[in-house]
Amino acid sequence: MGATKLPHASPSPSAKDTSPTNTLVTTDIVVLVIYFILILAVGLWSMWKTKRSTVDGYFLAGKNMTWWPVGASLFASNVGSGHFIGLAGSGAAAGIGATAYEWNGMIMVLLLGWLFLPIYIASRVTTMPEYLQKRFGGKRIPLFLCVLYLFIYIFTKISVDMYAGAVFIQQAFQWNIYLAVVLLLGITALYTIAGGLAAVIYTDAVQTVIMVIGALILMGFSFSEVGGIQAVLDRYPQAIPSVRVPNTTCGIPREDAFHIFRHPVTSDLPWPGVILGMSVPSMWYWCSDQVIVQRSLASKNILHAKGGSLLAAYLKVLPFFMMVLPGMISRILYPDEVGCADPDVCKQVCGNPVGCSDIAYAKLVMELLPAGLRGLMMAVMLAALMSSLTSIFNSSSTIFTMDLWRYVRRSASEWELMIVGRVFVLVLVVVSVLWIPLVQASQGGQLFIYIQSISMYLQPPVSVVFLSGCFWKRANEKGAFWGLILGILVGCIRMILDFVYPTPVCYESDTRPDIVKYVHYLYFSIILTVFTLIVVVCISLATEEPKPEQISRLTWYTRFDPVKMTDEVAITDLYTIETDTQYTKEMETDAHKTKDDFCGTEPDEKSSSKLKSALLWICGMEKEKGEKPTSPPPDTPVCSLNEDPCMSHLLNANLIVCLSVAVFLIAYWA
């Protein structure tokens, strides 16, 4: 075993503390400053370019986005800093298995563009709860879904990305975590509040370029250091730490580390679960999650939306090479630190007795890269953190404003919605900061797998409801509601059992109940999906059929129906027109005063008119006094699903190529 030790591997955990490359130098700081200037410049440019004083302008970027920023934003929203830390950590700990999540996502984002988006566009919705309200009627499903979405965003996505970003910040700057996160959240909130979705999408596009370039550079340095892909295949099985618990499997790499499809009973990712159990939650994320769908709804037309899905799918090939393999290389180069197996050693290395695989990516950055490039990779991590946080902030704001606030305040003006949407982002920032102690307490030891298991317990029922609503005309509100409630209830019971009986570490015996011990969370996802589907089908068939207006233009088979302006649809679709007719001049003046108060202006002082105009522009409320907020006229055209035949054939050909690439990659590494 000693022969497998590398000359540059750390002889002991203490080497980490004395390494001279563990901090950033002046060149790195300059690179970071340039990065922040670039992002703020792009944010300001997008604010100038986009009309942000209407609901569509702020929440859907005016529905005027082309395919390439949409595709880049889909990728950047998905690949947060949690991906860099989590995927590299999973690669270091267990091999390439976690790549299945990425390549499964390639297929699902294509389903979004070709199957789900035509339905959402035809139904003219802004949010996913709004779609379910139109499709099933009633208020209880969309309200329940709003709360569920906000819970998932605040307590899983934000926490994971902030933890992962904090790992890099602390390694590079030795800053106080509160100072670092508050600074980052302040910058992200600034252009999210001011610029809306347009600023988020354009900055995401720039950050995607930075992420890909920086990660590919680190990948090149990593492969150069280890000796190429063949060296990874040969040396990873021998990357065993010098100190480990005797007579256990602790610290020994998995025999199936280079396989995606693993043993159906004894492995960490059983292959039937990877094929079936992983796909349903993945479908929720890519096809009905507000963060993802909102970007596609901002597209000019269906062709640009499909093009964005294609670009995101092609980019999803990269995480395997940019994150997973570098994580495995990090374990080869630093087996005693990244691959530590003794709880005392792990506690000394990273403060977490469970394991230190989460430091794999940060370790590569700080040890291998020269000055300047370390700053670039720090910018990459900040780009990943900020792009995912802005996406969550904007989408959470959209759901809260358009579904919850509009439900409570039915007569809310467009001004009020704009103000509420921006203020809610500030509320999310405060909640994010208050969440930091819990993130620190978790230590992130099992954070990536924890998030995936949460997905398996909460997302399948939502996926089934969207699937039945989109592709089964007979599904009704009672079936969807009880399927959702009972499915979430069963999922929560299993989730609580997982928290009460956590997975034992390698040197402990497994004393968990059989339902937890022998039913893998991917298998449970399959069981939960079937259970929810049975409930939806049985109750829907036993109760009344949906009304005609709950089907027209709201399912795959009826997406081309002519628009029928029933009373209920008119209230939902043209609500802003109604609110315009309800407001008197006095109400308009009050709304204008509210706007002035929010942006910190004093309308009575003529001398402040220029300052007021500037502040109103920053707030996206650039209206003259007394001017009425605009609303779409009654003859606003419905988004067309018609496609140019030539471009449609080109996109369909790319669809076949992309699916073939996904199938080949999965089959090759299966």
pLDDT by residue (tens digit) across 212-269? 998 999 999 999 999 999 999 999 999 888 887 776 777 788 888 899 998 898 888 8
Looking at residue 340, what is its pLDDT? 86
C-alpha 532/C-alpha 468 separation (Å) is 11
Distance CA(503)–CA(519), nearest Å, equals: 12
* Residue 662 near residue 668 (C-beta atoms within 8 A): no
Side chain identity at residue 36, one-letter code: F
The residue whose two tokens read 């410049």 is 41
Separation of alpha carbons 385 and 177, rounded Å: 14
Question: Quick one: pLDDT band at residue 31, thresholds 50, 70, 90?
Answer: confident
- Chain CA centroid to CA 306, Å: 19
Give me Rg for the CA atoms of the chain.
Answer: 25
Tokens of 477: 């509100």
What predicted TM-score, i.e. pTM, was given to this entire model?
0.80
- The least confident of 335-349, 351-365, 627-641 is 627-641
The distance in angstroms from the start CA to the end CA of the chain is: 29
What sign results for the dihedral spanned by CA atoms 275, 276, 279, 283?
Answer: positive
Distances (CA, A) of 114 to 307, 550, 656: 10, 22, 12
**Average pLDDT along the chain:** 79
Burial category of 405 from C-beta neighbours within 10 Å (exposed 0-12, middle 13-18, buried 19 and up): middle
For 35, the token pair is 């990065």
Q: Where are the domains of the chain?
A: 21-242+249-560+641-669, 567-619
| Nearest-10 crossing angle of helices 447-471, 158-173 | 150
* 30 vs 328: CA distance, rounded Å: 30
Q: What is the pLDDT of residues 511-547, one digit of tens each?
A: 888 888 889 889 999 999 999 999 999 999 999 999 9
Sign of the dihedral through C-alpha 592, 598, 603, 606: negative
Residue 62: CB partners within 8 Å, gap ≥ 6? 50, 51, 54, 56, 198, 298
DSSP one-letter code for 546: P
**What's the pLDDT score for residue 534?**
97
The string of pLDDT tens digits covering residues 319-339 is 999 999 999 999 999 998 888
pLDDT in tens, 591-600: 444 444 434 4
Q: How many percent of the chain have pLDDT more than 90?
A: 32
Q: How many CB atoms lie within 10 A of CB 287?
A: 24
**Is pLDDT above 50 for 393?**
yes
CATH architecture for segment(s) 21-242+249-560+641-669: Up-down Bundle (1.20)
